[in-house]
Structures are given as C-alpha cells and as structure tokens.
C-alpha cells in the first residue's frame, strides 16, 4: 500500500512539471504522416517492379550535371578548319587570261623582277593547296622547280600566280616554261589538250659595243663598187647580184642551206657583223646568215665550217658541217630580238674567240656556245628557202674586226 502511494506521488509530480514547463501545441502532423506513408508505399511498389538489369543500367549511365547556381564560362570554341573534299572523277583544265612582263623584256644581269600569270580554273576540280606549278623546261631563274599554290581556286574562279625571278649574270636570252600539277602529281597545261605551257622570256642585257669596244673595222664591204669580193651570178638554185649598193641573194625554189665565201684570208678570232634586209616574201624557216671558219681545200668545195641561220618566223639555229655531215649545236630557237616577217632588217653579229662563240641580234647577245673543231677558216653568207619561190635577202654592208 505504501509502495503504491509512493509511485503515485512521483507520477503526479512529473505530470505537473511537464504541464508547467511545456505549453506548446503538439508538432506531430498526421497529414504529413499520411503523405509520407503514401509516398513510401509508392516507392516500395515502384522499386519492387524494377529489374536488376535496369538498376545496372542506371548505375552505369552518366549522371546529368547539377547546377550550383554559379555561371561558369565555357572555353571559346576554335574556328573550324575549312575542309576541301576532293571531287571524285573531276577534270583539271586551265585557261590563260593575262600576264605581266612581255616576252623579250630586258633586265640588267642579277636584277630581280616580278612576273604574274592570271589563269582561270575551267575544270571541275578544286585547285587546293596541294596543287603546284612546276618548271617543265628552260631556266629556273632563281626559283624552285616546284612551287605550291597559295590560294584555293574553285571551278570558274581566277588564280594569280606571282613569282619573283632573278636575271642571270650571264648576258643572253632566257626562257622558263611552267605547267600546273594536281594533288595526284599529274601535270597539265593550257589549251584544249592541256599541253601548252605558260612562260617567262627575258633578256639579260649586255651592250655589244661596250663589251667589244670595236672601233674601226679591219675589213668592210659596202657593195658600192664593182669589185667582186664574193662570187656573183647564178649557180644551181641561187643568184648573187649587186643592185643599188646592195648584195641581193635570191633563192629560186625551196631547198637546203646554200652559201658562198668571201675572197679573204682565213680568220681565227674575229667579230663579224652584217645588215640583212628581207624582201616582201618571207615565211616560216626561210632563212639567212653566215658560214664561218670554213677550212680551205684544194677542190674549193665548201662542205665544212660553222653555219648560223636566222629565219622569217623569228628563230635562229647553229650547226657544224664536217665534210658534208650535219652536226647540230643549237636547234631552232625563238628569239624576240629578231625582227620577223617580210620587209624587215636585222643586224646580225657573231664573235669567235678561241672555242667560244657569241651570237648577237640587233645589239643583244642572245646565245653563247663552245666548240673547238675548227680554229680558223674563211667566212661567207648563207641563204635558204623553205617555203618561198624567189625568196630574196639583201645585204647593204658586212664588216669584220680582228680580236687580238
């Protein structure tokens, strides 16, 4: 009995203490409890329907980034590189539009100059930076043999090719021929057959008079007198005659080179010069020029020496005759220094000194070669018709200077 009273007193004391110290409303929300129970039940039901494979897939998937409210700048993206996709089975074709530095332009030896070609891409291929221009003939003139194209040229667009060349130190005429090369290394040029080159053709200047310091000639023929220094008259297919202070050479029908020698002593080292005047009919390889260092022989039949010819189409060549056998030294070569066509005059010069020969046209050194077969001999005039009946060339004077 006493024990029960003791416990009742303790309970009442605790109850009064709780009532006096805590008058707040109960914080337990049965609505929240109900909602939590429902969500838990839904979660359990949903979880029960997920297969093990789905759980593994969710674990291995990359989680989406969660924003933390801070704006983190993204690194700037790089400008995409322009990709050139080769067109399969395309065709390369180029057309010439224009150029600078006309053929035959003169420059001082060692001088730099800029040459520009303007071409149009008339094919279906894109000319990428894997395309190049390549030297196919002639002198390099201080540049590489193959040079890549710097610009991408679409079909129908224009390409400018600009090169800086250097004039050779040695005086003369120089030409450099170029074509295009595609990304497969196939070379193509201009024209309907893609076979024509584009080129630069220049002259390295050397003044004839200043180089030779000629002075008064040692021998001069002006054809003003009746004195016969070369055989006159008709011989086979040619005629040499004097008319109005000129020596007139006439070839009646097309044939090979024909020549006559002047009646002078043999010469070894000399400079020979003459003015040639072409008649009103002249075409192609109709030509005229000199024969020099022709050895004397008892038969007086001229079948040896050096022969240089200049043609009506603006070319020149040089060869050697050995007892009637033809030995080519310089094949027909075009020169802008030659005044081509009918009714034209050209001053032709040839320097022979030892084994060195230099060819001059109208005061310009255009070529040089070396040959020691014939150290001396007589000189004369050559004429040839390839296409023209009664082809005529006149000479108003011829002179020689002895070279010590």
- The structural domains of the chain, with segments of one domain joined by +, span 94-205, 210-402
- Looking only at the bridges linking them, the beta strands covering 356-361 and 345-353 are antiparallel
Which element (helix H / strand E) includes 366?
strand 364-370
- The pair of structure tokens assigned to 17 is 């203490």
Judge whether residue 382 has pLDDT over 60: yes
Query: Which residue do the tokens 């070319």 mark?
Result: 315
151 — pLDDT class (breaks 50, 70, 90): confident
DSSP code of residue 196: B
320 — pLDDT class (breaks 50, 70, 90): very high
Structure-model confidence comparison of residues 353 and 335, the more confident one: 353
CA 352 to chain centre: 34
Least confident of 95-99, 231-235, 389-393: 231-235
* CA–CA distance, 206 with 214 (Å, rounded to integer): 14
215 — pLDDT class (breaks 50, 70, 90): confident
* CA–CA distance, 275 with 346 (Å, rounded to integer): 6
40 — pLDDT class (breaks 50, 70, 90): very low
Least confident of 10-14, 153-157, 246-250, 277-281: 10-14
Q: Cα-flanking dihedrals φ and ψ of residue 14, to 5°?
A: -65, -40
47 — pLDDT class (breaks 50, 70, 90): very low
Mean pLDDT, residues 192-196: 93
Q: Please state which of the four CATH numbers 3.40.50.1240, 1.10.8.60, 2.60.40.10, 3.40.720.10 is assigned to the domain occupying 94-205.
A: 2.60.40.10
The C-alpha angle with vertex 202 and arms to 197 and 208, in degrees rounded to 5, equals: 150
Q: How many CB atoms lie within 10 A of CB 378?
A: 19
Residue among 117, 122, 114 nearest 133 (CA): 117
Which residues, in sequence order, are bridge partners of residue 273?
349, 399
Q: How many CB atoms lie within 10 A of CB 161?
A: 18
- The pair of structure tokens assigned to 88 is 């399969």
Computed on alpha carbons and rounded to an integer, the radius of gyration of the chain in Å comes to 49
The C-alpha angle with vertex 304 and arms to 347 and 275, in degrees rounded to 5, equals: 10
Q: pLDDT value at position 345?
A: 95
Q: pLDDT value at position 77?
A: 47
Mean pLDDT of the chain: 82
Mean pLDDT, residues 283-302: 90
pLDDT tens per residue, range 362-375: 888 888 899 999 99
CA-CA distances (angstroms) from residue 96 to 127, 131, 155? 15, 17, 14
Q: pLDDT value at position 249?
A: 97
Mean pLDDT, residues 277-300: 91
Structure-model confidence comparison of residues 66 and 121, the more confident one: 121
Judge whether residue 76 has pLDDT over 60: no
CA-CA distances (angstroms) from residue 389 to 255, 286, 315? 10, 10, 20
- Looking only at the bridges linking them, the beta strands covering 105-107 and 198-204 are parallel
Per cent of the chain over pLDDT 70 is 76
Q: Please state which of the four CATH numbers 3.30.1180.10, 2.60.120.560, 2.20.25.90, 3.10.50.40 is assigned to the domain occupying 210-402.
A: 2.60.120.560
Which residues, in sequence order, are bridge partners of residue 16?
none
């Amino acid at each position: 009995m006493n024990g029960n009273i003791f416990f009742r007193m303790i309970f009442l004391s605790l109850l009064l203490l709780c009532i006096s110290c805590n008058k707040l409303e109960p914080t337990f929300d049965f609505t929240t409890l109900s909602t939590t129970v429902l969500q838990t039940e839904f979660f359990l039901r949903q979880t029960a329907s997920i297969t093990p494979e789905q759980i593994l897939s969710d674990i291995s998937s990359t989680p989406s980034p969660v924003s933390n409210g801070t704006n983190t700048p993204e690194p700037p993206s790089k400008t995409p590189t322009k990709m050139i996709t080769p067109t399969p089975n395309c065709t390369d074709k180029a057309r010439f539009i224009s150029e600078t530095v006309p053929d035959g332009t003169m420059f001082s030896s060692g001088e730099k100059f800029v040459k520009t070609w303007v071409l149009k891409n008339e094919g279906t291929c894109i000319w990428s930076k894997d395309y190049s221009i390549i030297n196919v003939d002639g002198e390099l003139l201080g540049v590489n043999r193959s040079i890549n194209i710097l610009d991408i040229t679409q079909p129908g667009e224009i390409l400018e090719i600009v090169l800086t060349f250097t004039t050779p130190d040695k005086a003369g005429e120089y030409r450099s021929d170029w074509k295009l090369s595609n990304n497969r290394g196939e070379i193509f040029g201009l024209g309907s057959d893609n076979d024509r080159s584009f080129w630069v053709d220049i002259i390295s200047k050397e003044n004839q008079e200043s180089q030779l310091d000629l002075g008064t000639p040692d021998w001069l023929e002006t054809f003003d007198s009746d004195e016969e220094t070369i055989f006159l008259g008709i011989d086979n297919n040619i005629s040499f005659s004097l008319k109005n202070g000129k020596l007139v050479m006439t070839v009646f029908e097309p044939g090979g080179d024909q020549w006559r020698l002047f009646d002078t002593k043999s010469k070894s080292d000399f400079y020979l010069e003459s003015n040639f005047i072409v008649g009103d009919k002249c075409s192609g390889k109709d030509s005229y020029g000199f024969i020099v260092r022709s050895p004397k022989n008892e038969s007086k039949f001229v079948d040896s020496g050096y022969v240089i010819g200049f043609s009506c189409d603006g070319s020149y060549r040089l060869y050697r005759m050995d007892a009637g056998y033809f030995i080519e030294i310089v094949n027909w070569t075009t020169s802008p220094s030659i005044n081509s066509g009918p009714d034209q005059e050209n001053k032709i010069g040839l320097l022979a000194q030892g084994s060195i020969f230099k060819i001059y046209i109208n005061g310009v050194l255009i070529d040089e070669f070396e040959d020691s077969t014939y150290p001396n001999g007589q000189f004369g005039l050559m004429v040839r018709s390839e296409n023209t009946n009664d082809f005529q060339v006149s000479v108003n004077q011829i002179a020689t200077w002895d070279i010590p």
